[in-house]
Amino acid sequence: MRRTRKLASGAVIHSNVDSFLAARPRSGTHAIATGTEWLDILYKDRGADSTLVCFHSALTTRVQVIPSFSGIQVSEDLDFNLIALADPALACGDVDLAWFLGTRGMGPLTERLPTIVRHFLGDRKAILFGASGGGYAAVLFGQYFVDHCVVAVNPRLDLTTSPLPDMTRYLKVAHSCKSAAALARAKSKFVPSPLKDLYSGGLSFDLHILQNANDGVYCRNQFEPFAKSLSEDPRFFPQLYNGAPGHSIIDGAFLREYLTHISL
């Protein structure tokens, strides 16, 4: 399903990244022209010391209009500032999840997004947050936020193992790949190695993973290999909890309590 991109009334439009960086961020929706595409971000400045930087997970078919932002309610409940990010790849066509890896017209998001987020952030503490595919993005981007914090809920941590993601769809839609050679080139440039390999030299940020012990597939194939690899890292804080069976949504009260605790 191809979704319709529609900005909220009063959205701030930036003609390029430099014009965005030259302006003082203010609360509201921001659309930043980046390469040949748009990066949409919702910013809420509540004057708090902590800022929740949210990466959304896969969108369902019920979401027919983008950008779609996550973290709005939890940040309001906790009185945190909010930087909610919309994956630009979802505006390219029929794709529900793209792990914030980037697009052909924008390039790798790891080369563009950290500078933009830091401009919103200023000198405040960041908590990068995401669940499932959004958790993958939060952990991936943690490397650019030294001494900040990442909280990932039931995250994907390896794009090469079970449950296998629909990587071919993402590469065809976001990168216009039409041949096996084009797919291989885009995959080599945009798709990282397993995150346990990326952080084999140690974490430069605090990483909290909240993993549902009753999500067997993600526990065995995503969480356990990563946790084993980083088991001696003093900045790694794994937390197993007993949630509903399968890849289910975390209890909201438990999540809010955890976020409050680590923000103190």
Confidence band of 52 (pLDDT split at 50, 70, 90): very high
Domain 45-107+124-263: CATH superfamily, name plus number = Alpha/Beta hydrolase fold, catalytic domain (3.40.50.1820)
Cα dist from 87 to 22, 39, 97, 112, 215, whole Å: 23, 7, 8, 13, 26
pLDDT digits (tens, 9 = 90+) for 90-133: 999 999 999 999 999 999 999 999 999 999 999 999 999 999 99
Confidence band of 1 (pLDDT split at 50, 70, 90): confident
pLDDT digits (tens, 9 = 90+) for 166-211: 999 999 999 999 999 999 999 999 999 999 999 999 999 999 999 9
- Helix residue ranges per DSSP H, 84-219: 113-121, 133-141, 167-175, 180-190, 195-198, 216-218
pLDDT digits (tens, 9 = 90+) for 125-169: 999 999 999 999 999 999 999 999 999 999 999 999 999 999 999
Q: What is the DSSP letter of 173?
A: H
Q: What is the DSSP letter of 89?
A: G
Question: What pLDDT score was predicted for residue 261?
Answer: 95
> Three-state DSSP class for 88?
helix
Query: What does the domain layout of the chain look like in residue ranges?
Result: 45-107+124-263
